[in-house]
């Protein structure tokens, strides 16, 4: 029986699978060990560069003029990492002096050559370095990376462009930001905050004009980096012309001026609860005492969030003292209105 | 057909199954290698200076707590120190019978809070809601006991923010965990949930609830589990993620859109694998509705959990996981070969059924069959040895490739001794550990199929964790009093 069940073919097949797998395991384990050795060597080398260059760069920052040693090609990446890292933490004169060191050591050449290599860290370092070096001539080559599919390279390029040309960059960034859903708006808000405000306001107006709903809603939070007048104009336009609930609620979130009150009051009666929620919150920011009745009505809204925002607005102090608001709420005879007011009162109590 | 032919047929079946299983995982491994390469690029983005604009979506951290008096205060304190612009912590005391609520009241100056509580998902009755006078972003929901899933649902109800993050009370996080796990939500509006890599905290140095230094546990049982977790996360999940077919987001740390969780009815309370069940259900609902969605995986180590160091606790954990897996799959069986099922329905689900749900049965049967036929003299010792060699070597390939992925990506275990220990653990795993866990999982299958009430193990925790955290000492190897309850499961390999 054994001769049939335990056929040579079977044993051979199993042994081949086993030995093959064993050989593969050994190969992988050796690869792991080799990688570990290589990484260890690199890390030791990087530590040497840091130990040598850190005091030199800090010396330059504080106005000393220590001689700069030659930099081996293998140490360039470690140097660029350190140089960029220190740049992140300094401003003004110190940044300018570091820029000077960078130029002397050849950071520009290092960055330009890394920009063309197929290595993520190298490219990223290159873009960051070119940004800190701030040479207008590099603008077109850096701008090219805005169209890369990798978000992080776009972010690095965007920041570099703002550093190179604060007045020009927003014109290149905003139209792409509208198209690229992978570009995190929150991050770009920080980047654009460093750009020229007038130019950003101008380009923002241009971009949002005629933008379809989805990108418009996505881009609207960016108004936080604009000046108040521009925000009011843009938000006012949207509140007056749009009937889309998402656009309206996004615009209401940014409504910070009493000039928009007429639109905000209208939005309080919108059929969509999301719009009513944002309208209540906006009234809490810019409403007048005359809006108390409107907010008391919203306090009885079927949606929890509308009631919550209305209660927060009512207790913001703009619509009378807490006792006055409590009495008005009591008069409504609505248990839900009463409960939500209690909650918000407890939240704001110290 | 003769008995010999039958035996040969059975042998070929087992061989084909083992080869099929390992081929499936090697394929996942290859996908992971590509994905890790891309992610290494993305991780370079952390070279960019970190800044918050305040426009990041705020997050509600939900912490279900049942009899957690020993660790709850330090856990919440560490959560409150996370680096993220807008978040709140909602602790749900799930009818604890110990002093959990009292500890919270005392440590965080809790006062009753008259919250107009919304019931978006039905739960066991809520007895009261408290807010902290010391931390404005901390609230505690006190409710009747209903289990972890019920507690999470109460947390979802109380959450104020658009993203909710389920966190186990005993999870150890990194200060930037939220920043890392929220990244996919910022880059893709279709993301509805996101999971991250869970690592083993045993042997590491934890300070004030945060991971300070990665270490290697002294216990070989824990070391073997490190290899297992590397396999489970670095290619188990990383491999499925590019296909949008990841069916598990660990309950120890997972981020979800609140509206999505409410829309599908929240966590199911009738399963022990509520985390996997929810994610599988999300796939099913979104696939069958034809809606665009994505559930990606962030390979960054963002959460650390303690692994059992005693066989008793390990058995209990693995049996729970197996039951959770079976329940999740059966409850969402409509996803299997669903016409719109895509990669989750046509690839991930069948692989889980074939190699994870049924795997232990076939693995144990395979070992049993080979041993029996050898003892009975139906198989030569050469045949038996070849079979054993193949079973062990195929397992070794998978473990070695997980170590390779780790070396290519995070290299958390930096000391040469750590790497050596993992290489040894990778070999040891195949001599006893793997067979034992397969046996336990098979028992869990039988218990689940035959509906025995069963004892699924009561997980208890000691105060040792907190003490270690406070003393800034390595996490003690406590002989198994602590269990990683919520991490379901590290299947794969």
Question: From CA A90, how far away is CA A96, in angstroms rounded?
Answer: 9
Lowest mean pLDDT among A53-67, B92-106, B145-159, B258-272: A53-67
Higher pLDDT, A56 or B19: A56
Q: What is the pLDDT of residues A200-256, one digit of tens each?
A: 999 998 898 878 888 888 888 888 788 878 888 889 988 998 888 888 988 999 898
Lowest mean pLDDT among A276-280, B422-426, B477-481: B477-481
Element (H, E) at B378: none
Helices B220-230 and B381-408 pack at an angle, to 10 degrees, of 70
Kindly state the tokens that stand for A298: 């919203």
Would you place residue B40 in the very low, low, confident or very high pLDDT band (cuts 50, 70, 90)?
Answer: low
Would you place residue B45 in the very low, low, confident or very high pLDDT band (cuts 50, 70, 90)?
Answer: low
To test the contact with chain A by mutation, choose from B53, B86, B369 the residue with the greatest count of A C-beta atoms within 10 A, namely B53
Lowest mean pLDDT among A243-252, B10-19, B309-318, B330-339: B10-19
Beta strands in A115-253 (DSSP E): none
Residue B108, helix vs strand vs coil: helix
Contact B480, B222 (CB under 8 A): no
Q: Tell me B354's DSSP state.
A: I
Higher pLDDT, B21 or B11: B21
**Who's near A322: CB < 8 A, 6+ residues apart?**
A315, A345
- Predicted confidence (pLDDT) at residue B20 exceeds the cutoff of 90: no
Kindly state the tokens that stand for A271: 């059929």
- B-contacting residues of A 215-274, CB under 8 Å? 218, 221, 224
- Predicted confidence (pLDDT) at residue B450 exceeds the cutoff of 60: yes
Q: Which pLDDT belongs to residue B428?
A: 94
To test the contact with chain A by mutation, choose from B4, B47, B403 the residue with the greatest count of A C-beta atoms within 10 A, namely B47
Q: Which pLDDT belongs to residue A70?
A: 86
Beta strands in B18-167 (DSSP E): 59-65, 87-94, 110-112, 126-132, 138-143, 163-167
Q: Nearest CA to A295 among A348, A335, A262, A337?
A: A337
Strand-pair partners of B205: B213, B474
Residues of A in contact with B44 (CB under 8 A): 120-121, 124, 152
Q: Which pLDDT belongs to residue B46?
A: 58
To test the contact with chain B by mutation, choose from A186, A302, A347 the residue with the greatest count of B C-beta atoms within 10 A, namely A186
- Predicted confidence (pLDDT) at residue A303 exceeds the cutoff of 80: yes
- Predicted confidence (pLDDT) at residue B479 exceeds the cutoff of 50: no
Q: What is the pLDDT of residues A54-70, one digit of tens each?
A: 999 999 888 888 888 88
Element (H, E) at A56: helix A8-61
- How many helices (H) and strands (E) in chain B? 17, 12
Residue in B49, B379, B397 closest to A21 by CB = B397
Question: From CA A52, how far away is CA A67, in angstroms rounded?
Answer: 12
User: Helix-strand-coil percent breakdown of chain A, rounded to 5?
Assistant: 80, 0, 20
Residues of A in contact with B382 (CB under 8 A): 6, 11
Q: What is the pLDDT of residues B379-409, one digit of tens each?
A: 888 888 888 898 889 889 989 998 998 888 8
Question: From CA A170, how far away is CA A229, in angstroms rounded?
Answer: 19
Share of chain A above pLDDT 70, in %: 98
Question: Whose structure tokens read 């209305």?
Answer: A310
Nearest residue on chain B to A158, alpha-carbon basis: B48
Residues of A in contact with B262 (CB under 8 A): none
- Predicted confidence (pLDDT) at residue B377 exceeds the cutoff of 90: no
Average pLDDT over chain B, rounded to whole? 86
Question: From CA A280, how far away is CA A273, in angstroms rounded?
Answer: 10
- Predicted confidence (pLDDT) at residue B44 exceeds the cutoff of 70: no
Q: Which pLDDT belongs to residue B459?
A: 46
CB contact under 8 Å between B113 and A347, yes or no, is yes
Question: From CA A279, how far away is CA A260, in angstroms rounded?
Answer: 11
CB contact under 8 Å between A14 and B389, yes or no, is yes
All structural domains of chain B with their residue ranges: 1-43+170-493
- Predicted confidence (pLDDT) at residue A21 exceeds the cutoff of 60: yes
Contact B470, B74 (CB under 8 A): yes
Tally of CB atoms within 10 A around B323: 21
CA A268 to chain centre: 31
CB contact under 8 Å between B401 and A28, yes or no, is yes
Q: Helices (DSSP H) in A242-334: which residue ranges?
A: 245-253, 261-267, 273-286, 292-298, 304-314, 322-332
Would you place residue A117 in the very low, low, confident or very high pLDDT band (cuts 50, 70, 90)?
Answer: confident
Residue A343, helix vs strand vs coil: helix
ipTM exceeds 0.95, yes or no:
no
Q: Which pLDDT belongs to residue A51?
A: 93
Residue B135's region, left for phi above 0, alpha for psi from -120 to 50, else beta, is: beta
Higher pLDDT, B38 or B27: B27
Higher pLDDT, B44 or A17: A17
Average pLDDT over chain A, rounded to whole? 89
Would you place residue B117 in the very low, low, confident or very high pLDDT band (cuts 50, 70, 90)?
Answer: confident
Question: From CA B189, how far away is CA B195, in angstroms rounded?
Answer: 16
Q: Which pLDDT belongs to residue B1?
A: 65
CA distance B389 to chain A (A): 5
Would you place residue B454 in the very low, low, confident or very high pLDDT band (cuts 50, 70, 90)?
Answer: very low
Q: What is the pLDDT of residues B234-245, one digit of tens each?
A: 888 889 999 999
Q: Is the dihedral of CA A253, A256, A261, A262 positive or negative?
A: negative
Q: What is the pLDDT of residues B252-283, one digit of tens each?
A: 889 999 999 999 999 999 999 999 999 999 99
Average pLDDT on B485-489 reads 38
Element (H, E) at B301: strand B297-305
Q: State how beta strands B163-167 and B253-257 pair.
A: antiparallel
- Predicted confidence (pLDDT) at residue A162 exceeds the cutoff of 60: yes
CB contact under 8 Å between B379 and A5, yes or no, is yes
B88 burial (CB, 10 Å; 0-12 / 13-18 / 19+) is: buried
CB contact under 8 Å between B393 and A22, yes or no, is yes
Lowest mean pLDDT among A9-13, A30-34, B65-69, B152-156: A9-13
Average pLDDT on A73-78 reads 90
Question: From CA A73, how far away is CA A78, in angstroms rounded?
Answer: 10
Question: From CA B318, how far away is CA B321, in angstroms rounded?
Answer: 5
Higher pLDDT, A116 or B287: B287
Nearest residue on chain B to A311, alpha-carbon basis: B116
- Predicted confidence (pLDDT) at residue B478 exceeds the cutoff of 60: no
Residues of A in contact with B372 (CB under 8 A): none
- Predicted confidence (pLDDT) at residue B471 exceeds the cutoff of 50: no
Q: Which pLDDT belongs to residue B473?
A: 39
Contact A317, A305 (CB under 8 A): no
Most confident of the ranges A325-339, B310-324, B399-413: B310-324
Residues of B in contact with A347 (CB under 8 A): 113, 131
Residue in B12, B41, B49 closest to A150 by CB = B41
Question: From CA B82, how far away is CA B49, in angstroms rounded?
Answer: 18
């Amino acid at each position: 029986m054994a001769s049939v069940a335990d056929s040579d073919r079977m044993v051979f097949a199993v042994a081949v699978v086993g030995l093959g797998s064993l050989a593969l395991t050994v190969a992988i384990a050796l690869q792991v060990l080799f990688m570990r050795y290589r990484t260890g060597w690199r890390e030791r080398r990087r530590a040497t560069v840091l130990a040598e260059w850190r005091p030199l760069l800090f010396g330059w920052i504080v106005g000393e003029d220590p001689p700069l040693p030659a930099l081996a090609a293998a140490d360039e990446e470690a140097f660029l990492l350190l140089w960029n890292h220190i740049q992140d933490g300094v401003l003004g004169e110190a940044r300018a002096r570091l820029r000077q060191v960078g130029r002397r050591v050849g950071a520009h050449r290092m960055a330009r050559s890394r920009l063309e290599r197929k290595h993520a860290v190298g490219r990223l370092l290159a873009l960051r370095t070119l940004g800190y070096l701030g040479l207008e001539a590099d603008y077109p080559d850096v701008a090219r990376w805005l169209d890369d599919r990798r978000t992080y390279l776009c972010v690095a390029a965007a920041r570099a462009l703002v550093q190179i040309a604060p007045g020009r960059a927003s014109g290149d960034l905003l139209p792409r930001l509208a198209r690229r859903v992978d570009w995190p708006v929150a991050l770009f808000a920080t980047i654009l905050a460093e750009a020229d405000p007038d130019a950003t306001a101008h380009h923002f107006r241009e971009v949002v004009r005629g933008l379809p709903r989805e990108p418009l809603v996505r881009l609207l939070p960016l108004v936080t980096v604009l000046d108040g007048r521009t925000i009011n104009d843009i938000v006012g336009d949207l509140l007056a012309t749009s009937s889309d609930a998402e656009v309206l609620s996004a615009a209401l979130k940014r409504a910070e001026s009493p000039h928009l009150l007429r639109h905000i009051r209208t939005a309080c009666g919108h059929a969509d609860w999301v719009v009513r929620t944002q309208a209540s919150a906006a009234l809490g920011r810019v409403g007048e005492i005359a809006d108390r009745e409107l907010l008391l009505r919203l306090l009885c809204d079927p949606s929890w969030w509308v009631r919550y925002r209305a209660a927060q607005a009512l207790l913001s102090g703009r619509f009378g003292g807490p006792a006055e608001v409590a009495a008005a709420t009591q008069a409504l005879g609505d248990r839900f209105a009463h409960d939500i007011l209690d909650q918000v009162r407890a939240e704001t109590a110290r | 057909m003769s008995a010999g032919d039958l035996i040969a047929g059975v042998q070929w079946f087992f061989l084909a199954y083992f080869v099929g299983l390992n081929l499936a995982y090697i394929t996942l491994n290859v996908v992971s290698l590509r994905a890790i390469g891309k992610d290494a690029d993305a991780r370079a983005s952390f070279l960019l200076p970190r800044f918050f604009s305040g426009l990041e979506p705020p997050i509600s951290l939900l912490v279900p707590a049942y009899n957690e008096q020993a660790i709850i205060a330090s856990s919440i304190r560490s959560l409150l120190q996370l680096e993220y612009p807008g978040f709140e912590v909602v602790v749900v005391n799930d009818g604890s019978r110990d002093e959990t609520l009292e500890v919270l009241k005392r440590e965080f100056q809790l006062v009753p809070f008259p919250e107009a509580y919304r019931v978006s998902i039905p739960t066991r009755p809520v007895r009261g809601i408290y807010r902290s006078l010391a931390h404005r972003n901390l609230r505690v929901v006190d409710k009747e006991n209903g289990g972890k899933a019920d507690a999470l649902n109460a947390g979802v109800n109380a959450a104020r923010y658009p993203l909710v993050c389920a966190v186990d009370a005993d999870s150890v996080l990194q200060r930037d965990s939220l920043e890392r796990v929220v990244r996919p939500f910022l880059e893709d509006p279709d993301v509805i949930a996101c999971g991250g890599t869970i690592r083993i905290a045993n042997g590491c140095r934890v300070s004030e609830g945060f991971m300070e230094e990665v270490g290697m546990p002294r216990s070989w049982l824990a070391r073997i589990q490190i290899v297992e977790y590397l396999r489970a996360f670095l290619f188990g999940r990383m491999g499925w993620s590019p296909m949008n077919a990841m069916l598990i987001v660990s309950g120890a740390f997972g981020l979800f859109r609140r509206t999505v969780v409410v829309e599908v009815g929240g966590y199911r309370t009738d399963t022990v694998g509520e985390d996997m069940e929810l994610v599988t259900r999300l796939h099913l609902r979104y696939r069958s509705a034809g809606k665009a969605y994505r559930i990606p995986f962030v390979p960054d180590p963002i959460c650390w959990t303690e692994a059992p160091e005693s066989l008793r606790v390990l058995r209990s954990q693995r049996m729970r996981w197996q039951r959770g897996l079976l329940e999740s799959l059966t409850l969402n069986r409509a996803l299997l070969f669903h016409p719109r099922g895509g990669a989750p329905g046509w690839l991930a689900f069948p692989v889980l059924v074939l190699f994870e749900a049924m795997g232990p049965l076939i693995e144990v049967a395979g070992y049993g069959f080979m041993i029996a036929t050898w003892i009975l003299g139906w198989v030569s010792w050469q045949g038996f040895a070849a079979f054993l060699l193949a079973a062990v070597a195929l397992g070794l390939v998978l473990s070695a490739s997980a170590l390779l992925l780790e070396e290519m990506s995070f290299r958390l275990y930096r000391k040469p001794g750590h790497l050596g220990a993992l290489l040894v653990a990778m070999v040891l795993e195949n001599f006893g550990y793997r067979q034992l866990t397969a046996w336990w999982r098979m028992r869990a299958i039988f218990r689940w199929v035959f509906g025995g009430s069963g004892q699924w193990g009561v997980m208890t925790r000691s105060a040792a964790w907190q003490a270690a955290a406070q003393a800034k000492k390595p996490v003690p190897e406590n002989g198994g009093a602590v269990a990683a309850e919520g991490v379901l499961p590290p299947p794969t390999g």
